Structure formats: C-alpha cells, structure tokens
Structure 1
Amino acid sequence: MKKITYVFFLFFTLSMSLSVNAQDLMKSKDLSTVNVDYLSDDDLAKISAQLKSNNATIDQVEPMALSKGMTQANFNKLKLKLTEYEKKNGVGTKTTAKTTEKKESEFGRKQESIKNVKVKDSANALIFGSELFDNPTLNFESDLKMATPINYVLGPGDELQVSVYGVQEYNGNLPVSVEGKVTIDYVGQITVSGMSIEAATQKIKSAIARVYSTVRAGQSQVSVSLSKIRTIKVTIVGGKQPGNYSISSLATVYNALHLAGGPGKNGSYRNIELIRNNKVYKNIDIYRFLVKGDQSDNVALKENDVVRIPAYSHRVTVEGEVKRPGIFEMKKGESFSDLLNFASGFNEFAYTASVNVIQKTGKEFKVHDINESEYKSYQLQSGDVFRITKILNRFENRIKIEGAVFRPDYYSYTDGMRVSDLITRAEGLKEDAYSKRARIIRLKTDLTTEIVNVNLEAALSGDLSADIELKREDIVTVYSILDFREEYKVTIDGEVKNPGEYEYYENLTLNDLVVQVGGLTGSASKRVEIARMVKSDEIDDADPKRVELVELEITADNNEQVKNFVLKPFDVINIRRMAVYEKPQMVTISGAVSYPGKYVLANKKETVYNVVMRAGGLTSIANLDGMKIKRPIKAEEIEKLESIDLNLAKSDTIKDKLTKKLKEELKYATIPVNWEKIVKDKNHYSNVTLFPGDEIEVSIYNEGVKVTGNVLLTSEIPYRSGKGFKYYLNAVGGVDNKGWKRKAYIIYPNGKADVTTSFLFFRSYPKVEPDSQIVVPEKPERKKMTAGEWVGIGSVISSLALLIVTAFK
C-alpha cells in the first residue's frame, strides 16, 4: 500500500516539471482526451528515473490511470514508448529480489511464486500414479486469472483493491493487517479477517457510504477485488520431499502433493489423509482422479493443514497383455476386476479365459490360475504378480480356398462343410478352372500335412463320395488350365521401330506383329527371314538342320501384306535392310577457300581435291603447306584401346591417361595434306578419301614462327629464309633451366611434325618453314642417388677388385 501510494505522489510531483501535456496527464481528473504521443524524451527519462528509484514498474500505475479515464490503448502506448526509450538508452528498470519472487496475472492480481525442481523418480516409475507428480508442467497451481472463489475467506496477507468511481473518486490497495483489518482513508479500519470476499465487500461498501455522500446517493460506485493473495503454511508428511511449504491460499491438496513430489517410495496413493485442527478432515484416493477424472478429493487447503501420506498396505503387479501394465495399490475388498479396470483392461492380443498369478506364502512362491468366472470374486493379496499372456497364433474355425475361383480367401469353417459349399461361398469357379482335379492340403492331428485329391467335376455334380467333407485349416486349391500352358514368345529383329521379344497369341500373323512393334522403318527391304523351331520325337543324324528357315518377300512401304503369314511359338523374324540405303553425309571445309562451309559427299570415293574444287579452290592468301584434315576419333577406336592389354602394373596409369586424353582433349586425329603434290598428281597419297565428319582446314599464310614450351620468352619470330632451328631458339632467349633442347621438335602448318636427331657428337635440327611452331619440352625429373646408394656401389666395386687381386695371386 505504501509503495502504491508513493507512486501516486511520484506522478503528481513529476507533473510539475513535465510539458503541458504531461501536466494534464497527472493533474486532470479526466484522462480520456490525453494524447500520450506528445510526451517528449525528457518526460520519459524523468518517469523512468522516478520508477527506478522507487522500485516501481509502469504496470503498477495502470489501475490509477485507467480509473481516471485513460483508455487501455493509450496506456499500452505509454508503456511501449517507455520500454522503447529504456531499451534505446540502455536504461533498465531493475526489479528487486522481492519483486522477482512475485508473479502477476494480466489482471494485476499477484502471488508469490513457489519454485519446485522436479526430478524423475526412477524408483517409483512403474507405480501407477507416479507419473502424475514427475511432470513439471502438471502442478495443479491455482489460476490467478480466474474470478475470486465465492467462498474465499480473507485473512492477514491478502490485499484488496478498493475503487470509488463516479462523482467522487478513490483508488487504493488495502492489505489485510495481522489484526485482520483494512484501513481506508477518511473511513477508518474495517475488520475483514475470517469473512468471505462477498461479505467483506458489502461491509466495505457500507462503511464507505457513511463517509462518501455520493455513494449513498448512487452517484458514485464502489468496486472491491482481491489484488494480492496471501500465502499459507501447510505440512506434508510421507512425501518424497516432506516438509513445511508456503503455498497460495487458493492451493488444493493435489497442488501440495505435487510440490512434495507425491508419495514416497512406500507411500500410499489411495489413503492420503488431510488433517485439519488435529482431525482427519478428508481421505484422498488419487486413483479416483486417475481412472475417472474425479477431483472431488482435491479440496482447498487452509492455514496449518497437514497432508499425511501413510505407507501402503497392498500392492500388486500386472505384467503382459494389458493396456497399462505396472504396479497398482489395492484396497481391502477389491477384486481382480477392479485391478483390471485400473490397468485399462486387456489389450487386443490378451488371452482372457484365465490369468496366471504368482503368490507369496510365508516361505516360498506358489502359482495360481484364476478363471474368467473368478475375476470378480478373487481377493488380491499384497505381492501378487499377475501375468496376462498372448492368445495362440492359430484359428479355431478357419478354412482357405485359392486358385481359379472368383473370391479366393479365408472363410469360416462349420461342421459338415463340403468342397461344393466352400466353392459356393467363393462365388463359384472361374472360366479357366481345371475341373478334373482339385487339391486339399490337410493338417493332421499330429500337425503333419497330407494331400487329398478331389474330382471337382464329380463333386459339383452331386456325387457325395467325391464331394469330400472338409476339416478345420484345410487349404483347397483349384487349378487353372492356364497354369499348364507354356509361356510362348516370338522375336522380331531388323528394320522395325521396336525390335524385341513379344508374347505369342494363337493365330498371330506377321501383319499383327509388324503393327504391334510400330511398323517398318524406311530402310526395310522386301526380304524377310523367319527361323522356326524344329520338333521331332526322333533324332535324324542325316538331317543337319537346327531350325527351319522360311524366306518371304513383302511390300516394304506397306505394313499390311497381301500374304498374311501365320506365326508359331518361338519364331524369330528378321526384316532385312535395303542393300543401298545411305543418308547424305557431310564434311566441312574452312579457312582460305572461296566458299567455306559444309559439303555433302557426292560419291563413295570423294577426295580432298574434289571438295576443295567444289569450294571454289584456294584463295590468294592460302598457305599451300598449311592444309590438313581433322578426323573425329570414333568411340569404337577408344574401345579398342581400352580392350588392349598393355601388360602394365596395376598402379600404372598410362593407359587411363591416354584414354582420357583421346576422349576429353584430342577428340580428333590430324592428317597432313601436301596440296602441291596433289595438284601435280591426283593419285598422290595425300589426296585421301574423305569420311563423314571430316573437317578440311586451309590455313592463311603466316610469315611468323611460334616458339613455345620451356623457353625464356614464348613468342612469334618473323620467318627469315635460310635461318635454322637455333636462330629461332636464340631469338627468344634460349631454353630455360628445365628445357630439354635436344628433344625439341617442330610442328608444320599442315600438322606434320619433325624432331631433333643426333649421331655421336653431331646434332641435326629440323628445317623451319613459315607458320611453323617450335616446341621445347620439359626435362624429365631424375632421381638423385642417395649417399647410401653410393656407398653400396663403392662396396660392390671394392669386393670385385679384391676378388680380381685374389684370383691373380
């Protein structure tokens, strides 16, 4: 009360230094027209500082502001502006330890919070009901947002919020003193302790009406609500955490039990005593709540109540096929049916005709069987262990029919049932049923099986000797004539759109099959060859034929033939390709020709000269020594390389590197062409026959010579007639320290290459021509001999020398 009163005076004092709008906010009795947006940062700073110095929060002045007519939206805006200001400027309204111990509902009602850390109880985990007290989210705590209970009795520690509104106004939070009184300004002290909230409200209204004339006249109204709930002390004995607890005056028995962690290891769940004024006020049975959701035992607590949890008297165990197995506490006089109810009954796999129970005598164990008729009368004994087993994996009246019937499935068996009855229940035989014989697989009494054959045709015609009587677990199989037929196929290959293997049908013809495979291709010839299987009961060694060949002629451009040949099972049909059927193939010519581009190979022996002439011949800038053919490397050539065994070690990657280079880097081979020789002699070997995909490149005349590789300067040197290989190497500064000069080579414009050769101490370099490229490769790395290897060689030489000297002595 003192704190809240101070906050009132705080705002009135603060209003003296605020702006006009802030003054209106604090002084005016009507705040309904105040716009909080006009408060400046200085105003917010002063409000924040005053609240902080008095350990107050903005929420504590909410009732006062609302009672003066400020809308909830405006107050929320004020609260938001103040929060944003404090966050922006690093100001925090630190709450005291006393404040953090309290929690407040959205309606302003407060209650001291009670902390209780839950620890999973592994010792009592199997006891039915223990999970109720291990769950930290299930605490049975009173809801501060609910209306004040009608029968709530006030006492010291409670706090009432009294408001007078209308013509006269008053607002105050009035704590109930230790003498049980509340003090109202100008009214005096009023005794409320021991009174219900309703009675106290009427008493307070009457007292205020004697002072406030407008209340007597009805011009002002009085509102009384419970703003703070007192804390009471209760004692819990026999719980996992026994002791004295301070809890809310709204708390119930279950709330107190949850704080104490529930019953202890040997505590009872069904005979808990609530002791009030040294007498047992209530016996609590938690099972009523767990099984039925009945909270009639969850009564409200009062000051100095004692919750006593005695030791259990009877506990039994349920194992196996029940919905909730575990350990259950039983009361005297309860039967197995009550236990089954606590365990939520048998599950769907339980054997319910009888239950096995292990009992304890004074000396040893014994086993007892309880029949279903005894469930309600059997009196449980402490320590009983009930075992509910599974039903047997077998059927008492099952029978099965499978095969060529309309509804093959399992059916229920009845005494006297025959084969014809089962077929009728399966809605009869299918059209493909084999009626001469059916089979019954029968389970004998010793669980071995036997086969019983049935003449199905006779059984269905009314012959009782054939219509065999069935037994439980019989499996009746009705055969299909389709099961006896071989799966026939025909194969078609050659010039059809979808060659392959296809199902054979009776009266299948060549026309039917051709249409089925999508028809003939454009390259199909008139010749058709059909290979037919030869069948004979005798071996004729004089006849060497393995198959019978049938040759036909068809109209290649028509899928419907005049002579419709009838096929037989396993025929192999081959549609031959036309002798001459080749689509136009092209080559490409580029570079210094008059009309570069793609050209069709006009004949099978199309040569380089013919295509160059068709392209208008060479231009004036063409390099006669710079013509070459680039021929794509075919996939089959790479496959041949991969199939060659080079007899290399497993770790050697030369073959893989070569294959990868052909696939990803080279992609084509280069064929040099000597154009001058071709012009003089059309039969010269350079006038090669072109293949589809070939590309003829005619380079433009270039007077430079490129020098690349391991040289000091990669460059292009102007060609000088008469200058040799060394001249161009020296022109780029010579080779570098990694260059292998004696292995240098030259690539000519037409793709031909030449290498440096040596004889004794003489070295011969290749001739240099315009537009050539000189390449200096890198020296291979040589492994230097280690000191140990030199020592080894020296020891070998020494040994040989010693051997020679010894031999000549």
Structure 2
Amino acid sequence: MKKILIVLFLLVSLFQSGGMVAQDLLKSSDLSTLKVDYLADSDIAKIKAQLQSNNMTIEQAEPLALAKGMPASEFAKLKERLAMPATAKDLVKKDSESDGDANDKQDAFGRKQQKIVNTKVKDSVNALVFGSELFDNPTLNFEPNLTLATPVNYILGPGDELQVSVYGVQEFNSSIPVSVEGKLTIPFVGQIPVSGMSIEAATQKIRGAIARVYSTVASGQSQVAVSLSRIRTIKVTLIGSKQPGNYSISSLATVYNALFLGGGPGKNGSYRNIELLRNNKVYAKVDIYQFLVHGDQSSNIGLKDNDVIRIPAYNQRVTVEGQVKRPGIFEMKKGETFADLLSFASGFNEFAYTASVNVLQKTDKEYKVRDIKASEYATYKPLSGDVFRVTKILNRFENRIKIEGAVFRPDTYSFYEGMRISDLVLKAEGLKEDAYRNRARILRLKADLTNEIVNVNLDKALAGDLDADIALKKEDVVTVYSILDFVEEYKITIDGEIKKPGVYDYYENLSLNDLLVQAGGLTGSASKRVEVARMVVSEEIDDSNPNKAELFNIEIVAGNNEQAKNFALQPFDVVNIRKMAVYEKPEMVTVSGAVHYAGKYVLAHKKDRVYDVIQRAGGLTSLANVEGVKIKRPIQAKQIEALENVKLNLGKKDSIQNKLEKKLKEDLKYATIPVDWKSIVKNPENSTNVTLFAGDEIEVVAFNEGVKVTGNVLLTSEIPYDSGKGFGYYLNAAGGVDAKAWKKKAYIIYPNGKAAVASSFLFIRSYPKVRPGSQIVVPEKPEVKKMSTGEWVSIGSVITSLSLLILNAFK
C-alpha cells in the first residue's frame, strides 16, 4: 500500500508541476478510460511541456502512467503523438508567444506585457505650442514600469495571468490565466472567480481555497505566493488627438501614456481641459500644464478598459515673444493673469525690459496696442490671440563713470549726483607716482550724444580748489596721464666680439661697463679697440661739417668687462667691439690611405701644402700607388650660394640649374683635386702641390693592378692590367658595349681622380692611355626623338615651296 501511495504522489507531482496547461486531462487519478485519439494537438503540447518542465522523458513517465491504469496501447499512441512535429498552427502560436521582440515585452522578473508600437509624427504646425514637445520626443513614452511591484489596488480581469506558488513541505508552481469568465482554474483546487477584485483581495481568496486542499498550507508548514506574471491589454479610445482611434495598451497604463501613443492633442486640441470619460461620464479632467510647469502628476490617472480620452478644442491661446526664457504659444484658462502666463514662460530672461510689456490685441475690426505696466501683471487677464512682446533693456547705463590711466585702480565706478574729480580719484585709491598732475582729461557725453573734452588741473583739484575740482556727470571718462607717456624710448646698440650682440634699452647714467655686462661680456677674440658712434645733434645745419656721426675710439683691457675708465654712453650710441688682428683656432686636415701615419694633422703654417703634410705623415708606403694621390675638398655653402645667384636663363621649364644645385647639395659632398705625386717629388713647386684648406682630406690609394670597366657594357668587371693593351682591349674584355652605349664619349678615371676622354682628328679616334687602378666608364646615349612621317612631309613641303620661289625669282 505504501508503494502505491508513493507512485500516486509522484504522478500527481509530475502533472501538477506542469501547471494548469493540461489540468483537465490529468486531474483524474484514473487514466484507464483515456483515449489518445481524442486528444487535441494543444493537449499533446501541454503534456510535452509538463515533461520538459520536470526534466523527464516519455520513457521515464511510462511506469507512472501505467500504474494509474492507462492501457499500454494508449500509452504507445501517446508516445507516437509526442514524437510527431507540432502543427503549423501550434508553431505559429509558439513563435508568437516566445518572440519577445515582436509581440511581448518581458522584464527581468518574468512579468510580460504585449509590446505596443507607435510611430511618432512630428507636429510641424504647432511646434511653438507649449507642451507639444512632450509628445514629439520619442525618448518620452510614459510607459508603465513592469519591474515595479504590483499595485495592491490593481483590479484583475480576463487576460491577466497570475503566478501561483506553494512552497514549503508541499510545492506547487504554475502560471494561471484569468479566463474570459473571470475565473482561475487551479488543479485539485477548482475554479476561483477573481475578476473585478484587487490583487490583494484575490491573493487572500486564492490562499484560502488552496488551504482547503493542501493541509500544510492550513497548518502553516507551506506558504502561498501570488504575483502578476502577465498583464492584460485593455482598449481605450482617443478623440481629438493627432492620431485618434482605438488603442490596445497595458492595463497599468495611465492617461499620459495613452496621450503619448495618440501623439498628444491635435492641431486645435486643448492641453488644459482633457476629459477622461468612464462609463459615459466625465471621470476626471487633465491639465498637462500642471505637469510641465510644476511636475505634478496627480492628474495622470490609471486607465480602465473602454475608457475614452476626449481632447476638446482650446478656448484661448496667446503668444509670448522676445526676452523670456521659454517663448511660444500658451493656452490660458479663464481667470488666469499675465503673471500666470509669465510663469508658464519660465519668467523674464536676464536681458528683458521688465518695467512694462507691449501687447498686440485683436478687436472685432482691427489690431490695437497696449502697454501693461509691472503693477498690472497680477491683474491683467490675457485675451485670446494676444501677442506679448518682451523687449530688451537699453544698452546704456544710468550711473556709470570711468577712470583710466595713472591711478592705482583704473576701473568703472558708480556715479552719484554731486560727485567731483577728487571723489573719483579717491575711489580709484589715489594717483600713482608717475601721474602727470598738471592736466587730466575728461571725455564727456553731451545731451545731443556728441563728445567734448574738459581739462582738469589735478594738483589744484586735489588741493581743495573747488573751481578746479569740477563736478562730474554720468558716462564721463577720466584719463590721468603718466609722465612716462611723454618719455621717448631710447635704445643703444652693441655689436662685434660680444656674447649677446643686439639692441638694448638705454637708461640714464648707462656706461660702457654696464652695457658689456648686460650683453654677456666680451668673447675671447675681443681686441682692446672699441669704437663708439654717436649721432650728431644740432639745431642748425653745418655744411662745413661732413660727419654724420661722431666717433670715439676707446682702448679697453681685453678679457676684462670692468674697465678702469668707464665711458658714459648716450641714447642711440652704437658700440662695436673689434676682433684681434690674429685670432685663429688651429685647423686640421685628414690623411688617409697608404701612408705610414694616417690621421688628422693641424695646419701649422698658413701655406701648408700636400707634400708637407704627407711628409709629416711618414710619406707613402711601399703599397702606395704614386699615381693615386688626390685631395677631397668639401663643397662649402658659399659655393652653392654663388651658384644659386647665377641665372642661366635656360627657360622656365629647364631644370639644369636645379639639378646642378641638388647635385652639389645632396650627391657631391666634396670636390676632387688630382695630385701628380711624381712631379711634386721632383719639384715641390709643382702646380699640383696645392695649398691645403681646413677640412681637406688627402687620400693615397693603394696600388691596384686591375682596370674596372663600368657603364653601358655587357659585363661590369675588373680586368687585370696589361701594359701593352689599349682602351679597346679592356672594352672588349668586358664583352663590348651594349645597344645604348655612347662609345665615342667613353672616358677614363685615373686613381688620382683625374679624368680623360676619347678624342678624334680627321675621323681618326684616339683613346686615353690606360693605367693600373683606372676606371673606364661608357655612358648612355641621350634619347633623341625621331621625326614622325608628318614632320618629314612638312619639311618636304617647305623645301618644295622654297625651290619654286627660287626658280620664279631667276626667270
């Protein structure tokens, strides 16, 4: 008996946990009369859902079903039906229920609500009407928050779904919808009518019904929890909105939510007298301005099924323009004043003229203008169509006065009647030490808005002389001059062997020592000679004196900035510190290659030559090529500058000069000077024994028995030197020249950097002699544009024409 009870309990638990989906099918404890053929597809879907929710397969449920008397043949049919795919109708239903993006909206707590989609239409006609932006903004929708706790006064109705849970010793959990008859059907409990009841009252009723079946609930060992899992959709009607019609919305929705879905009031709709009709009676009136101005949502009432929201036409609208914080068109109620209208417009802005407001009114026949004073703001009642214009304050001051110049606090101050010049100076905390006291200027604005100047003697005014201490007027601008404004700006110049040459300010009693220290002191190359040039100042022109400046030659102690005799300078003096006659830092050249002691050598003499330096380097080694001595001299910037200053006038598009300058700057870093060492050894006075300059590099090439052949030859190579062979031999040894070679312009570069080219006389071409270590270069022929057929025809035509002219001339 105990085993049978356990099996029955498990079977009941199996089909209870699936909820009320298949309660009519399996609530009976006897399954012997069950006919699977009579089951609808929806019943099969419910059974399948029950199995999935309990994590059981149909095979695991077989012994439980057979224990309740279900025939094995019927169970086999049930198993076959469960294995079949769902019908198209079921699939559509399943998709529609599971597709939260398309139909349902579900919060984080599992509460569902049918998704409501509404396309916003921008109201361009009434864009200036105050409140219209509330319904045009897609980020505002007043949608009910599904995550909030269910309101205790929420009234249940058909379409709602409750989550009923029993937890504790006994457990039960199911989502149960409220049927169209307004009842809940709970397995083993029965039907409970809940329509029209609040969620709180329904919870108490459901708990009592379950307690009569579940003994542990009555004893307190199990608890019952009821929550709203799906919210029903209700129908409301909007009249007078931008998009009037019937709307399906959440049962938690409010008036503002419905107004937003309808786009707000229409073109002539009222924002302040919206009516909520319930059971054919006016249930409430909604004033949207209470929310817009004060944030008051007391009129945002919850809706019920079949409610009607009626938006009547407005009674009175006025316009506010100009200097208010929120200009626009406003709807007014009877009895409201201009002060109320000003609050709707958020008040005057900081530039508004608030003493009065101009209003344009409409009469039966024409317009009229009226001025409303500030004292009338709280009593004047706007009329429909009024246009209020709030203007700007004047760009002027009623009590401004200004002082500038040599006072401690130059600024703008407040003016009062009876203010005098001494009072204003006192406000500015007195005159500065450099103030010019004999005269101050007052720039005064006259009654006709023209300006005049009034002069004041500050010394007398501040001493108490009432005649001098004149009375001021508003908008006066007082200028106190500074004696520094009248002082000429003197300069003095120093140049030459000084660390910071330049132009300096001159000060009274400035001496030569002061200027030398200010300019950073003398350089090491400064001589004892200093020349000071001073401008000649005279009231009359002296034609007998040709001097433009007076010169002073001063001897100083070089290297000492403090001289015993301190020369006084005057404005605009020009000081030149001369350089020592002999002051040159040691300069060096470089010797590299096949010498005994390669390295850098100082030019000890002004005219050190190649032979002298090579001798100091120990002379040539036994591996040196006596015909391979050359000098590499760096190209100086002044040489490039000289080339840039020469205009070759080769045409605008010719780039020869540009290429030459680029080659000197970037490609050629130095110029090569060939040296005939054999001749120098025989006669040191030979012309190739040149005088060296700083930076020169003497390069002595090691002896090389090969001859290098490059350029437009078939094979760039180095051919062993043969004293009996000439230029052509080496070209042939490199495979000869290619098709682009310019053989007649071939040249040879000797080891000392000297070059020689081929020459011709009476069609006899002679090539330069080849020596060991030389390099033969065959250049490429320049591209020559061939004449086209048309050009040949043109030339032929010209020749023919000339021939005819000549023949006609000799007839």
Total equivalences in the alignment = 745
Q: Which deviates more, 608-617 or 118-127?
A: 118-127
1:100-132 deviations in whole A, cap 9, x for unaligned? 411111111111111112232222221111111
1:460 and 2:462 aligned: yes
- Per-residue deviation, 1:94: 9.8
> What amino acid does structure 2 have at the position aligned with 1:219?
Q
**Separation (CA, whole Å) in 2 of partners of 1:509 and 1:666:** 52
Contact 1:4/1:173 (CA < 8 Å) preserved in 2?
no
The match for 1:14 among 43, 50, 56 is: 56
Counting only pairs closer than 5 Å after superposition, residues 584-599 of structure 1 correspond to structure 2 as 584-599=586-601
**Residue aligned with 1:514, SS:** helix
1:626 and 2:628 aligned: yes
1:162 and 2:164 aligned: yes
**Separation (CA, whole Å) in 1 of partners of 2:597 and 2:193:** 120
Query: Relative to 1, partners in 2 of residues 1:52 and 1:484: Cα closer, same or farther, differing over 3 Å?
Result: farther
The match for 2:358 among 356, 360, 373 is: 356
Q: Indicate the residue corresponding to 2:24 in structure 1.
A: none
- Per-residue deviation, 1:423: 0.2
**Separation (CA, whole Å) in 2 of partners of 1:784 and 1:17:** 98
**Separation (CA, whole Å) in 2 of partners of 1:177 and 1:653:** 97
**Separation (CA, whole Å) in 1 of partners of 2:330 and 2:405:** 53
**Separation (CA, whole Å) in 2 of partners of 1:118 and 1:517:** 78
- Per-residue deviation, 1:16: 7.2
1:161-219 deviations in whole A, cap 9, x for unaligned? 11111111111112111111111122111111111111111111111112211111111
Q: Indicate the residue corresponding to 1:600 in structure 2.
A: 602
- Per-residue deviation, 1:52: 11
Q: Indicate the residue corresponding to 2:349 in structure 1.
A: 347
Contact 1:747/1:774 (CA < 8 Å) preserved in 2?
yes
**Separation (CA, whole Å) in 1 of partners of 2:422 and 2:235:** 83
Counting only pairs closer than 5 Å after superposition, residues 240-255 of structure 1 correspond to structure 2 as 240-255=242-257
Q: Which deviates more, 429-438 or 354-363?
A: 354-363
> What amino acid does structure 2 have at the position aligned with 1:249?
S
**Separation (CA, whole Å) in 2 of partners of 1:362 and 1:5:** 78
Contact 2:493/2:572 (CA < 8 Å) preserved in 1?
yes
**Separation (CA, whole Å) in 1 of partners of 2:777 and 2:369:** 100
Counting only pairs closer than 5 Å after superposition, residues 387-406 of structure 1 correspond to structure 2 as 387-406=389-408
Q: Indicate the residue corresponding to 2:72 in structure 1.
A: none
Contact 1:316/1:330 (CA < 8 Å) preserved in 2?
yes
Counting only pairs closer than 5 Å after superposition, residues 459-608 of structure 1 correspond to structure 2 as 459-608=461-610
Q: Output the TM-score relative to the length of structure 2.
A: 0.89
Q: Indicate the residue corresponding to 1:654 in structure 2.
A: 656
Counting only pairs closer than 5 Å after superposition, residues 75-90 of structure 1 correspond to structure 2 as none
1:645-669 deviations in whole A, cap 9, x for unaligned? 2122122111111101000000211
- Per-residue deviation, 1:357: 2.0
- Per-residue deviation, 1:636: 0.8
**Separation (CA, whole Å) in 2 of partners of 1:498 and 1:808:** 86
**Residue aligned with 1:382, SS:** coil
- Per-residue deviation, 1:769: 1.2
**Separation (CA, whole Å) in 1 of partners of 2:416 and 2:85:** 89
Contact 2:277/2:284 (CA < 8 Å) preserved in 1?
yes
Gaps of 5+ in 1: 23-48, 56-91
- Per-residue deviation, 1:759: 2.5
1:644-699 deviations in whole A, cap 9, x for unaligned? 12122122111111101000000211100000011111111111110000011110
Q: Indicate the residue corresponding to 1:307 in structure 2.
A: 309
Q: Indicate the residue corresponding to 2:697 in structure 1.
A: 695
1:414 and 2:456 aligned: no
The match for 1:377 among 355, 376, 379 is: 379
**Separation (CA, whole Å) in 2 of partners of 1:367 and 1:651:** 77
Q: Indicate the residue corresponding to 1:112 in structure 2.
A: 114
1:51-91 deviations in whole A, cap 9, x for unaligned? 99799xxxxxxxxxxxxxxxxxxxxxxxxxxxxxxxxxxxx
> What amino acid does structure 1 have at the position aligned with 2:224?
V
**Separation (CA, whole Å) in 1 of partners of 2:519 and 2:571:** 17
**Separation (CA, whole Å) in 2 of partners of 1:556 and 1:13:** 108
**Residue aligned with 1:550, SS:** strand
Q: Indicate the residue corresponding to 2:340 in structure 1.
A: 338
Counting only pairs closer than 5 Å after superposition, residues 207-286 of structure 1 correspond to structure 2 as 207-286=209-288
Contact 2:407/2:435 (CA < 8 Å) preserved in 1?
yes
**Separation (CA, whole Å) in 2 of partners of 1:118 and 1:135:** 8
Contact 1:632/1:668 (CA < 8 Å) preserved in 2?
yes
1:745 and 2:787 aligned: no
- Per-residue deviation, 1:259: 0.5
Identity %: 72
**Separation (CA, whole Å) in 2 of partners of 1:113 and 1:50:** 33
**Separation (CA, whole Å) in 2 of partners of 1:98 and 1:550:** 102
1:677 and 2:679 aligned: yes
- Per-residue deviation, 1:447: 0.9
**Separation (CA, whole Å) in 2 of partners of 1:370 and 1:229:** 55
Contact 2:100/2:106 (CA < 8 Å) preserved in 1?
no
- Per-residue deviation, 1:374: 2.0
Query: Relative to 1, partners in 2 of residues 1:4 and 1:399: Cα closer, same or farther, differing over 3 Å?
Result: farther
Contact 1:712/1:732 (CA < 8 Å) preserved in 2?
yes
**Residue aligned with 2:576, SS:** strand
Contact 1:52/1:93 (CA < 8 Å) preserved in 2?
no
**Separation (CA, whole Å) in 2 of partners of 1:121 and 1:268:** 15
Query: Relative to 1, partners in 2 of residues 1:169 and 1:660: Cα closer, same or farther, differing over 3 Å?
Result: same
Query: Relative to 1, partners in 2 of residues 1:356 and 1:759: Cα closer, same or farther, differing over 3 Å?
Result: farther
Query: Relative to 1, partners in 2 of residues 1:282 and 1:95: Cα closer, same or farther, differing over 3 Å?
Result: closer
**Separation (CA, whole Å) in 2 of partners of 1:54 and 1:104:** 26
Contact 1:10/1:50 (CA < 8 Å) preserved in 2?
no
**Separation (CA, whole Å) in 2 of partners of 1:336 and 1:563:** 90
Q: CA RMSD in A?
A: 2.2
**Residue aligned with 2:212, SS:** helix
> What amino acid does structure 2 have at the position aligned with 1:14?
M
> What amino acid does structure 2 have at the position aligned with 1:749?
P
Contact 2:601/2:613 (CA < 8 Å) preserved in 1?
yes
Query: Relative to 1, partners in 2 of residues 1:292 and 1:102: Cα closer, same or farther, differing over 3 Å?
Result: same
Counting only pairs closer than 5 Å after superposition, residues 63-82 of structure 1 correspond to structure 2 as none
**Separation (CA, whole Å) in 2 of partners of 1:217 and 1:313:** 65
Contact 2:747/2:778 (CA < 8 Å) preserved in 1?
yes
- Per-residue deviation, 1:401: 0.3
Q: Indicate the residue corresponding to 1:641 in structure 2.
A: 643
Contact 1:586/1:601 (CA < 8 Å) preserved in 2?
yes
**Residue aligned with 1:470, SS:** coil
Q: Which deviates more, 282-291 or 125-134?
A: 125-134
The match for 1:141 among 120, 140, 143 is: 143
Contact 1:52/1:94 (CA < 8 Å) preserved in 2?
no
The match for 1:663 among 642, 659, 665 is: 665
- Per-residue deviation, 1:722: 2.6
Q: Indicate the residue corresponding to 1:121 in structure 2.
A: 123
**Separation (CA, whole Å) in 2 of partners of 1:246 and 1:805:** 111
Contact 2:709/2:775 (CA < 8 Å) preserved in 1?
yes
Query: Relative to 1, partners in 2 of residues 1:539 and 1:53: Cα closer, same or farther, differing over 3 Å?
Result: farther
